[in-house]
Structure 1
């Protein structure tokens, strides 16, 4: 027979999970007060107050300073994002390998971190020179084809703010000013993929296409980058292939153009 000492943590965890599930189902624009939570769960207000303070201390819940209502905390959202990205990498890796097989060039899976691009996964040809790895490295979004794809669904004002911060990007010899990049992003929406020609780094070209989730939101970009001497003459072909593969990955993630936003 288990002792009460063994059972207590499990019971406490179940009580905390009930609170978190209740907050998850609350109005996302507001929250729930201590009294209301206690009423719904049938518990003492003092008990709920202690439990919520403990959850708040761990980042699992947060309290609005004006309304005093509770909602889910930043730590839960961070854990959910990390878990979602782990699944995304697992699902996307075979698609990246297909790209490598077709183009014989290194392929990347990229996501947005604020206004920067983070590479989650890279797959290289077996013969590739093992130079600087991009996994875990961030670069400003406007500098790369992946970044431009990832912000291509942003509202115009948000894009202007992002590009105004960047100004004329001091990267490759063909770096462009913010106004030119706004026009380029409009072109990405029409074409479905982005291409850069020595804008990020001299002698480097690349293409990227968006990956969408079941809601139609852009959650990642598939990117191929290589020396201009190898990929430059087939950049548009690589872009169309990248778009096709990104669409197939989007479909596996649950995105269907007929039931959501159209593929572009």
Structure 2
């Protein structure tokens, strides 16, 4: 028998399974049956049944007519994150101001493994076919937000994204070649911002700038998005990127980062390059 690692010993399998069941509720399975949940999670039906009954007792799911659905109490998990995260509170007025200045949507996102997660957003108009809201996840490799955060990420994290993402072409313009992708990250780091035009979705243009904490580490990406029907990449670079950089610097300053006191690239956190 293979001995378990310390990391394995410290993990509580029942909690992992409970979250697996919760996360199985999605667009494809908004009201799944027990059998569907067992198929999606790979867990046995008896195990899924016990988990569902536990979650029902806690008020996070409810069942009827053989199908299950999430309850509004699930939203409280995300609310606790927002309430306990100073970054979101600090960034919100800056997002609103940026949206007013650009007349386009402004977003704040964090990196979660191979994906970017929207953690705050001020929408102006719907420009993407996907429903973008707080909690929405998009692939890091195909977004300006993901590239901003990966440009300063440790090399092993960049390689993990390259090796574990499917790196499919979302559009004909998506950069999926690993060598070219690394070069793109080098450019982002050199210039201090990222711009992606029609790589995640045709017609979508997005620019991002890094947000830093007190130590200077990049902890989030600030983004402004528009459509090719309203603007173009050159115009976004000339008119929006300066606003993005200034706003990102203001958020970073509110979080305690001082440009004069610490260099943009922190020693010991040189990231990928």
TM over 0.5: yes
Deviation at 1:202, TM superposition (A): 0.8
Question: What CA deviation, in whole Å up to 9, does each residue of 1:79-104 have, x standing for no partner?
Answer: 9x936863211110111111111110
Question: What CA deviation, in whole Å up to 9, does each residue of 1:225-249 have, x standing for no partner?
Answer: 1211213141202122211110111
Number of the residue aligned with 1:145: 144
Number of the residue aligned with 2:99: 100
Number of the residue aligned with 2:118: 119
Structure with larger RCO (C-alpha < 8 A, sep 6+): 2
Aligned-partner Cα distance in 2 for 1:202–1:136: 22
Structure 2: which 5+ residue stretches go unaligned?
1-11, 16-76, 267-273
Q: TM-score, normalised by structure 1?
A: 0.64
Aligned-partner Cα distance in 2 for 1:110–1:159: 17
Q: TM-score, normalised by structure 2?
A: 0.62
From 226, 243, 246, the equivalent of 1:244 is 246
Aligned-partner Cα distance in 1 for 2:152–2:81: 22
- Relative to structure 1, the CA distance from residue 104 to residue 83 in structure 2 (aligned partners, 3 Å threshold; closer, same or farther) is closer
Secondary structure of the 1:100 match is: helix
Secondary structure of the 1:231 match is: coil
Aligned-partner Cα distance in 1 for 2:90–2:126: 26
Question: What CA deviation, in whole Å up to 9, does each residue of 1:50-99 have, x standing for no partner?
Answer: xxxxxx9xx9xxxxxxxxxxxxxxxxxx99x9368632111101111111
Secondary structure of the 1:257 match is: coil
Aligned-partner Cα distance in 2 for 1:196–1:254: 29
Number of the residue aligned with 2:210: 210
Judge conservation of contact 1:173–1:201 (CA < 8 Å) in 2. Answer: no
Deviation at 1:183, TM superposition (A): 0.7
Deviation at 1:209, TM superposition (A): 0.5
Secondary structure of the 2:229 match is: helix
Judge conservation of contact 2:111–2:220 (CA < 8 Å) in 1. Answer: yes
- Relative to structure 1, the CA distance from residue 163 to residue 84 in structure 2 (aligned partners, 3 Å threshold; closer, same or farther) is farther
Number of the residue aligned with 2:197: 197
Question: What CA deviation, in whole Å up to 9, does each residue of 1:155-203 have, x standing for no partner?
Answer: 3343133213336432122011221111111111111110001111111
Structure with the higher helix share, 1 or 2: 1
Secondary structure of the 2:151 match is: coil
Structure 1: which 5+ residue stretches go unaligned?
1-55, 60-77
Aligned-partner Cα distance in 1 for 2:135–2:108: 11
Task: Give aligned pairs, total.
Answer: 189
